[in-house]
Structure 1
Amino acid sequence: MNKKRVLFLHNEFPSGGAERVTVDIADYISERGFDIYVLAREIRDWSLPNMTLLELPDKMSVNSKENADAIIDILQELQIDIFVLPVQTLSYLSHIRSNTHCKIIFALHGVPFWEIASDLYTKKKRVWSSPFKRLGWILVTYPKTMWFKRYHKRLLSDYIRVYSQVDAYTVLCEEYKQVLIEKMKLSPSENRIYVVPNSEKSAETVNFNKKKQILYVGRMSYEDKRIDRLINIWDMIYEKVPDWEFILVGDGEERESLQQMAQKKKLPRISFAGHSDHVEKYYRDASVLCLVSTFEGWGLCLTEAQANGVVPIAFDCSAGVHYILSPSGQNGILVTPYNLEEYARLLVELLTESEKLKMMRQNVIRKSMEYAPDVIGDKWLRIFDSLLSSLGKCNKMENN
C-alpha cells in the first residue's frame, strides 16, 4: 500500500512552539504509514529526522503569489494528500485550493481573535508615554475600537474566509471551538472544527531534588507576555523569600528594557539567561515557572514545566491556560487576571509551603501525560483518516 503524504507549511522551521508541535506530530505519524514533508520560507535545521525539508523560492514573505504558485507545484509534484497550515494563513489559499486536490487543514495555535487584544496593546504602548496621546487613547481610540467593532468585523470575515477554504480547522480546547461556532454562526452538530491540544513529550528523567529557583521561559515581548509584571512581582516578594532566585530564559525586543528596569529597582537574585536551545537544563533545576501573559492560547512553557515537575503559576487569562492548570492548587496555580497583589501572595505561599510544592510536583507530571505525543498524535490520525476517506470517495466518483 502506498504511503499517504502530509505537508506542513511554516514560516521559519524550526523556530518556536508551533514548529515543535509539528516535529512531535511528524515523529508519531511517520511511524504509522505517512511520509512527512515540511515546507518553509527558511529552514534553520536540515538535520531533523522523519521528514523531508523544503524551502520556498521567495525568501521575503511566505504569503506571496510566487510562493503560492510554488506551493501548487510542490503539492502536485509530490502528490500530497493532506496540506496542514499551522498558524500561517495564506492570502492565495483559494488559488491553491482550486489548483490542487489535496485536503487542507488549518491549525489555530492561539486564542480565537487574539489579534484584537494584540492590536489594542500595541496601540496603547505606542501612546502611553505621552499624556496628551494617552488621553486620546482613553477618550477616542479605545472606545472607537470597542464600540464600533470595525476591526472585529474585518477580522471575523478573515476567519470565515479561512474556514470556508479548508477541509478541517483545529483549535486547542473545546471552549475555543464554541467561540468560533458562535461567532461564525456555524451548526453545533455539523462543522469542520476539531479539538486537538498541543502535544508535550515526557521528560527523559525528572529531577525531584529541585533548587529554590523561579523560572520564566519564553519570548520577551510586551503585547502578549508582559514580563514587566514579573519584575514588579519579584520587587514585591524578594525580601519574603530570601533563599530563592529568579531566572528569565529567552530573548526579544523587550529584554534590554527589562534588564534596565530590574537594575533601576536594584533587584537582587535576578538573572537574564538569554536565548537557549537547551531549556531542559533550566527546567531540571527550577521549582516554579511563572507566566503573566495578557493573552496566551495554550502556553507550551506551562506543559513543558509540568512534564519536568516544575509547578506553574499563571493568570487565568484564557480557556487554554485554565485547562492546563486546573484544578488550581493541584496542577498549578491560577490567578485572577491581572491582579499583581494576588499573584505575589499566591506565589509566596507556594514558595514557602514545601510539602504543598512536593505534592503539586507529582500532580503536574501526571497532568502532562494528558497531552503525550501518542495521545495527541492519535487525534491527528483520526482527522487524517476521516479526510482521506472522503478523498477516496471523491476519487471513486470522478473515475466512474
Structure 2
Amino acid sequence: MNILFLLGKFPSVGGVETVTAILANEFSARGHAVHVVSFEQVTETPTPALDDRVTLHRLSYPVSSRANRDGLRDILASSHIDVIINQWCLPFHVTRLCRKAMKGLPCRLLAVHHNAPDCNARLEGLRMRMARTGNPVNRAFLRLLLKGCSMATGASLRYVYAHSDRYILLSDSFHQAFRNITGLKDTGKLLTIPNPITVENPEFRYDPALKKKEVLFVGRLEPNQKRVSRVLETWALLEPRFPDWTLRLVGDGPEKRSLQEFCAEHRLKHVSFEGFQNPAPYYEQASLLLLASEYEGLPLAMV
C-alpha cells in the first residue's frame, strides 16, 4: 500500500509530528511505501529519525494555493497513493485541498483529530480572555465571539467529516463531544485509534529504589493548552515547604522565557529547564508527573 501523511509542520517538535514519524516508520518497516507532505519545515531532521525509505515532500503557504493543489496531485498520481492520512483536519480548507488534488484518483482520505473536538486554541483563547475581563460589556462581546467561533468550528468539522472516508478520534469519550459540536446524529464514519507509546526504552523498569524527590512536567512550553504557568504557580507554593524536592521541565516552546522570568521573580531555586530531551530517563527517576493542561486529546506524556 502507498500511504501519504499530510500535516502542517514537519519536521517539527510536537505530539502530532512525533506520532507521524513513529507511524511512518512502522508502516515502512511493514513494507508499505510511505510519503510525508508538509507546508512548513521547522527543524532539519525529524524526531524520532525517519526510516530512509520514507519520502518527504514540501508544499508551502497559503495552503489553498493552486501550486499546492497541483503539487499534491502530482505526488498522489506519480506515487500511486492509496490512502491520505490527514493529520491536520482543522481548518477545513486542508480537506478541501485534498479533495481537489485527489479528484478522479483512486485514493481514500482519512481525517485524524488530535484533540478534543470541542476545544481548540481559538476557543480556549476566548475563554481565557473572558476569565480575565471584569468589564460586563467586554464579557458579553467575548461571549458572542465564543458562540460564533464554536458554530464555525462545528461547521468546519461537519465539512471535514462529510468529505473524509473515515474520521478518527483519540478516545471513545470524544464521540459524544463530536456529535454535540457538529449537530450530527449519523456518525458511522467515526473511529477511535489512541495515540501510541512514543518512547522506545525496552530496558525501562519501575523500581522505587530509583525514584528521587522530583516532580516532572513533559510537553510544550506554551500558555494556551499546556498551561505550564499553573505548574510553576503551584511549585511556588510547594518549594518553601519541600526544599529537598526539584521540579524538572522537559520540553521547549515560546513561553520558556516568561516562565524563567517567573522563577527569577519568585526566587525559585529548585526548578530545572531541561529543554527538548528523551523523557524516558526522567520518567524512571521522577516520583510525580504533573500535567496542568486546559484540554488534551490523549497526552503522549501520560501514555
Give the direction of change, closer, same or farther, for the CA distance of 1:198–1:57 in structure 2 (3 Å limit): closer
Give the direction of change, closer, same or farther, for the CA distance of 1:103–1:123 in structure 2 (3 Å limit): same
Amino acid at match of 2:231: L
Q: Per the alignment, in what secondary structure is the counterpart of residue 220 of structure 2?
A: coil
Pair 1:218 & 2:219 matched: yes
Q: 1:124–1:137: 8 Å Cα contact kept in structure 2?
A: no
Pair 1:197 & 2:202 matched: no
The residue number in structure 2 matching 1:100 is 105
Q: 1:14–1:20: 8 Å Cα contact kept in structure 2?
A: no
Query: In the TM superposition, what is the alpha-carbon distance from 1:62 to its structure 2 partner?
Result: 4.2
CA distance in 2: counterparts of 1:253 and 1:33, whole angstroms: 38
Indicate the larger mover: 275-284 or 116-125.
116-125
The residue number in structure 2 matching 1:292 is 292
Give the direction of change, closer, same or farther, for the CA distance of 1:66–1:191 in structure 2 (3 Å limit): same
**Aligned mate of 1:114, from 116, 119, 126:** 119
Q: Per the alignment, in what secondary structure is the counterpart of residue 98 of structure 1?
A: coil
CA distance in 2: counterparts of 1:139 and 1:48, whole angstroms: 47
Q: 2:28–2:51: 8 Å Cα contact kept in structure 1?
A: no
Q: 1:245–1:270: 8 Å Cα contact kept in structure 2?
A: yes
The residue number in structure 2 matching 1:161 is 159
- Aligned residue pair count: 289
CA distance in 2: counterparts of 1:74 and 1:110, whole angstroms: 28
The residue number in structure 2 matching 1:377 is none
The residue number in structure 2 matching 1:320 is none
Q: 1:93–1:165: 8 Å Cα contact kept in structure 2?
A: no
CA distance in 1: counterparts of 2:217 and 2:189, whole angstroms: 36
Which runs of structure 2 are paired with 1:227-242 in the superposition (5 Å)? 227-242=228-243
Query: In the TM superposition, what is the alpha-carbon distance from 1:262 to its structure 2 partner?
Result: 1.6
Query: In the TM superposition, what is the alpha-carbon distance from 1:241 to its structure 2 partner?
Result: 2.4
Please, what is the CA RMSD of the aligned residues?
2.5
In terms of Rg, which structure is larger?
1
The residue number in structure 1 matching 2:255 is 254
TM-score of the aligned structures, taking structure 1 as reference length? 0.66
Structure 1, residues 29-71: CA drift from partner, whole Å, max 9, x if none? 334442211122327327621642222243x444433112211
CA distance in 2: counterparts of 1:137 and 1:229, whole angstroms: 28
Report runs of 4+ in structure 1 exceeding 4 Å deviation: 121-125
CA distance in 2: counterparts of 1:137 and 1:30, whole angstroms: 56
The residue number in structure 1 matching 2:145 is 145
Amino acid at match of 2:287: S
Amino acid at match of 1:301: A
Amino acid at match of 1:80: I
Pair 1:244 & 2:245 matched: yes
Indicate the larger mover: 94-103 or 161-170.
94-103
Query: In the TM superposition, what is the alpha-carbon distance from 1:296 to its structure 2 partner?
Result: 1.4
Query: In the TM superposition, what is the alpha-carbon distance from 1:231 to its structure 2 partner?
Result: 1.3
The residue number in structure 1 matching 2:51 is 49
CA distance in 2: counterparts of 1:186 and 1:97, whole angstroms: 26
TM-score of the aligned structures, taking structure 2 as reference length? 0.85
Pair 1:276 & 2:276 matched: yes
Query: In the TM superposition, what is the alpha-carbon distance from 1:222 to its structure 2 partner?
Result: 1.2
Q: 2:6–2:88: 8 Å Cα contact kept in structure 1?
A: no
Query: In the TM superposition, what is the alpha-carbon distance from 1:292 to its structure 2 partner?
Result: 0.6
Give ranges in structure 2 of 5+ residues lacking alignment: none
